[in-house]
């Protein structure tokens, strides 16, 4: 059940009320008993999943997943090119070496 903020337009009394979403909006101020209560628009709270099995990446958008996959492939391609270049410079002639006999 959410908590709602209320303010009285007659006396300025502000308070929070814990009530169900299906409950009607309160109109009567508990401080001055005038029918001038107004429910304030709150910022709300984000849903937080706690416990095992909930991960931040489980709820990513499709566009985020596609961009992450493209970044991963680009990084793998750069690493492969670097490894190929390194093996060419270390290998020398690349031919078979003759075995020396004693």
Q: Which residues pair with 8 in a beta bridge?
A: 37
pLDDT at 3: 83
| Structural domain includes residue 95 | no
pLDDT at 36: 95
| Structural domain includes residue 86 | no
pTM strictly above 0.75 = no
Structurally, how many domains does the chain consist of? Answer: 1
Pairwise CA distance, residues 86 & 80, whole Å: 10
pLDDT at 35: 96
| Structural domain includes residue 76 | no
Pairwise CA distance, residues 7 & 15, whole Å: 7
pLDDT at 78: 76
| Structural domain includes residue 30 | yes
Query: Which residue range forms the structural domain that includes residue 24?
Result: 3-39
pLDDT averaged over 10-residue windows placed end to end, the chain, 102 residues: 88 91 92 94 66 66 85 83 64 55 60
């Amino acid at each position: 059940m959410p908590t709602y903020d209320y303010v009285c337009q007659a006396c300025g009394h502000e308070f929070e009320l814990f009530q169900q979403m299906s409950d009607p909006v309160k109109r009567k101020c508990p401080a001055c008993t005038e029918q001038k209560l107004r429910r304030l628009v709150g910022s709300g709270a984000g849903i937080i999943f706690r416990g095992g099995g909930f991960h931040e990446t489980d709820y990513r958008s499709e566009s985020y997943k596609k961009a992450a996959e493209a970044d991963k492939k680009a990084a793998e391609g750069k690493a492969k090119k670097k490894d190929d270049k390194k093996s060419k410079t270390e290998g020398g002639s690349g031919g078979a070496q003759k075995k020396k006999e004693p």
